[in-house]
Each structure stands twice: as C-alpha cells, then as structure tokens.
Structure 1
C-alpha cells in the first residue's frame, strides 16, 4: 500500500515537474517577445521624433520665407533661401538627436584665461 502511494506521489511529482518546466519555457518565450516589442516601440518613437524635428524645421523655414517675402517684396528669393536654411537646420537637428554630431559647449573662461 505504501509502495503504491509512493509510486503515485512520484508519478504526480514527475508530471507536475514536467508541467512546471513547460510553463517556465512559455514564460521565457513571452519575456523574449516583450523585449523585442519594447525595442521595436523605442525604435518607432525615435523615428517619429527625428522625422517630426526634420519636417518642423522645413515648415518653419518655409513660413518665415513666405512672411519675409510678403513684407519685403522679394518674392521667391526669401522663401527659397529660408527654405534651404530650414532644410539644413532640420538635417543638423536630426544628426544631433541621433548622436552623430555633438552640440558645441561654450567655454566659461574668458579669452585671456587658460
């Protein structure tokens, strides 16, 4: 009787151990999926940030050029020049945000000090 009971407990323990191992494997797979999803979300957020900075700089340049042309009367030249400057500013902002170009740091020392 005790042998049957011991065998039954051993079988149940082995069965529960197998179930536990399969659940742990499923959880690890879910965790890996979450890590991949988080990485994907961060990449998407970075792409949206960079593209919005780039487009905003171009739009600001175009609007300022249009306003400049309306008040000064230099139609299309103000818009062309400020649109190109907006494009350059947008590219510089994207490069700074991506970490390819560093922002220059102002030196607190005076011109004669070392």
Structure 2
C-alpha cells in the first residue's frame, strides 16, 4: 500500500515536472517574442519621429514662403527659396536625429 502511494506520488511529481518544463519553454518563447515586438515598436516610433520632423520642416518652409510672398509681393520666389530651405532643414534634422550628423552644441560641451 505504501509502495503504491509512493509510486503514485512519484508519477504525479514527474508529470508536474514535465508540465512545468513545457510551461518554462513557452514562457521563454513568449519573452523572446515580446522582445522582438519591442524592437519592432521602437523602430516604428523612430521612423514616425523622423518622418514627422522632415514633413514639418517642409511645411513650415512653405508656409513662411507663402506669408513672405503675400507681404512683400515677390510672387513665387519667396515660396521657392523658403521651401528649399525648409527641405534642407528637414534633411539636417533627420540626419541629426538619426545620429549621422553631430549636434552643434555637442562640440562645445566636449571642450569644457
């Protein structure tokens, strides 16, 4: 009787250990999937940030060019020049945010 009881307990313990092992493997797989999803979300957020900075600079340049043309009366030239300046500013902002070009204040901080 005691042997049957011990054997039954050992059998249940082995089954529980097997279930725990599968649960641990599943948990590790879930953690790995979550880590990949987090990296994907960070990349998407970075892409949205860069694109919004670029588009905002172009729109600001176009609006300032339009306003400049309306007040000064230089027909399309103010719009063309400030739109191109907005495009250049947008490209520079994207390069700075991406880390390709250093921020101008970084050089001054290093010399102190």
TM-score in terms of structure 1 length: 0.90
Please, which runs of 5 or more residues in structure 2 have no aligned partner? none
Question: Match for residue 4 of structure 2?
Answer: 4
In 1, Cα distance between equivalents of 2:108 and 2:90:
26
- 1:96 correspondence with 2:96: yes
Question: Match for residue 78 of structure 1?
Answer: 78
Aligned residues: 108
Deviates more, 1:81-90 or 1:4-13: 4-13
In 1, Cα distance between equivalents of 2:52 and 2:9:
63
In 2, Cα distance between equivalents of 1:101 and 1:26:
43
Question: Match for residue 17 of structure 2?
Answer: 17
Report the CA distance shift for 1:107/1:47 in structure 2 as closer, same or farther (over 3 A). Answer: closer
Q: What SS does the aligned partner of 1:74 have?
A: coil
Report the CA distance shift for 1:18/1:107 in structure 2 as closer, same or farther (over 3 A). Answer: closer
Which has the larger share of helix? 2
List structure 1 segments (4+ residues) > 2 angstroms apart after TM superposition: 105-108
CA deviation profile, 1:3-41 (whole Å, cap 9, x unmatched): 111111110110000000011111111111111111111
TM-score in terms of structure 2 length: 0.92
